[in-house]
Every structure is written in C-alpha cells, then in structure tokens.
Amino acid sequence: MMVKPEHKALEGQAALCVPRHVAIIMDGNGRWAAKRHLPRKIGHRQGVEAVRVIVRAAGEMGVEYLTLYGFSSENWRRPAEEVNDLMGLLRFFIRRDLAELHENGVNIRIIGERGQLAPDIVQMIEEAESRTRNNSRLKLIIAFNYGGQNEIASAMRRIAEDVKAGLLEPAEVTRDLVARYLDTAGVPDPDLVIRTSGEKRLSNFLIWQSAYSELVFTDTYWPDFSPERLAEAIAEYNGRERRFGGRNEDGASQA
C-alpha cells in the first residue's frame, strides 16, 4: 500500500509502502525502569502509554492490522507481584481506552489461552471484542497469555479431532487449512515484525505466521518506542526485497 508521508513521523520521506500487517514484540519495560532506578511496574505502566501512542500512529499511517505481544504464556514464570501488575494493566487499558478505540474505528481481537485468566478479565475481553466487532479502520490484535507453540499444538489437536470425527480427510490438511485453525484465522500474516529493546529473537511469537515476515530489531526500549521509531522500521522494511522463497533477477535463489 503506497502512501504519502501525511503523518508527521513520515515527514521528509518519500512515499512509502506501508505494511498491511505490523506485529510488535513489546520488550524492555523492565530495563527502561531499571535504567531510571524505578520499579518494574512503572516501566510496564509507561509501556501501556506507548501502546496508546503507537495504536493511534499506526492507524494514521495506514496500517490495517497491528498485533502486539502483551503477555506470553511463559510470563507466568515471573514473580506473582509482577504478573498481578500486568493483569491489572490489561484491566486498566480496557477500562480507560475502550471507548476511545471504539470511537476511532478500532476493531479489537485478543488471541491466546483464556482458561488461566481471571473471570473478570475474560468478561472484559469479550466485551471489548463484541463492542468493536463491526469496526474496520484498524484491526488491533493483542496476544495475551499467548504462545506460538501452544497455538500450533491446539490447532493440531482440533484438526486431529475433526479427522477422527470424519469431518476431514488427512489429505485435506494443507498449509491453508492449518492457518484456519490458528488463533489468527482470517488475519493476513504479518509483513513486518518489530522487536524492541535490542533482543534478536521471536520468543514464541507468531512463529507459524511470521515464516516470511521481514524482521526489524531496534535497541529502543518499548516505553520509548515512538511514531518516529515506527516510521524508521517501516522505512527499513521498504528497503527489503521480499521474495518468499523465490529468485531475484540474477537468478540466485533466496530465502
């Protein structure tokens, strides 16, 4: 999708191809706080403020789908106090921002396991999804209590159950069919995956869907990730040549 640099973060740049789907691993809240000699919970709170800013900026830039990695299925291993703080921040985010997101045409979808979540959080998630279901300006997907390996294993179980029940033949199990059983069914694979804080790994995030995504890693901690940093990542994305396993013009095969 070609756009002119109408968002102020894109000023001074030529027209860019804005990725249809951007996914972000929001990392570095704790280190942001430690650098300032603040409690980790302050870093997480600042991270929520960054979410508000980036959701707004992504929509203004023309991104259609924005997926944010909010809480991984492995994060339960963190100290109970920190986990409780993160759960509280999800409650805070939904209560404070749901009305504004709805007014701005944002469609909210939460992916991940809900069985471990408190009943009031599940109710809030369902309300957010129901209230914004018909919105179409920006699809906001929040991965909460999510793990890519768990997602694939769950999809395989449901496929196996349907094969056992005679609803599917083994020969029908294709890549496209598997995608329809994932949490992200109906969502295009991310064009661009960004990770903040300097770490260079996916950490179990959208590992099926990101097979051919462009990866951009930035040293910026998530609370400091601004629309300008997002624009820089999009500009770097524009410098890549996506081949999806094909060949470039000189005939060399590429991954």
Structure token pair of residue 227? 């629309």
Q: Which residue has the tokens 């992200």?
A: 184
The C-alpha atoms of residue 28 and residue 179 are separated, in whole angstroms, by 30
What is the rounded average pLDDT of the residues 152-169?
98
Query: Which pLDDT does position 4 carry in this prediction?
Result: 44
CB-CB contact of 139 with 66 (8 Å): yes
Q: Is the pLDDT of residue 13 over 80?
A: no
Question: Which is the catalytic residue, given 75, 104, 150, 238?
Answer: 75
Q: How many residues does the chain have?
A: 255
The rounded distance, in Å, linking the Cα atoms of 94 and 236 is: 32
pLDDT tens-digit series, residues 104-133: 999 999 999 999 999 999 999 999 999 999
Assigned domain for 109 exists = yes
Please confirm, yes or no, whether 84 is among the known catalytic residues: no
C-alpha 253, offset from chain centre: 30
4: helix, strand or coil: coil
The catalytically annotated residue of 27, 97, 183, 191 is 27
For residue 85, indicate whether it is catalytic: no
Provide the pLDDT confidence category of residue 3 given band limits of 50, 70 and 90.
very low
Q: Does residue 227 sit within a domain?
A: yes
Provide the domain limits for residue 203. Answer: 2-234
User: Is position 51 within any domain?
Assistant: yes
Number of independent structural domains in the chain: 1
Asked whether residue 211 is assigned to any structural domain, the reply reads yes
Q: Do the domain assignments include residue 21? A: yes
Q: How far is it, in rounded angstroms, from Cα 95 to Cα 59?
A: 21
In a domain, 246, yes or no: no
What is the CATH number for 177? 3.40.1180.10
- Quick: pLDDT tens for 199-252: 999 999 999 999 999 999 999 999 999 999 999 999 999 998 876 666 565 555
Amino acid sitting at position 242: R
Structural domain contains residue 239: no
Answer yes or no: is 186 within a domain. Answer: yes
- The structure tokens 């990101």 sit at 210
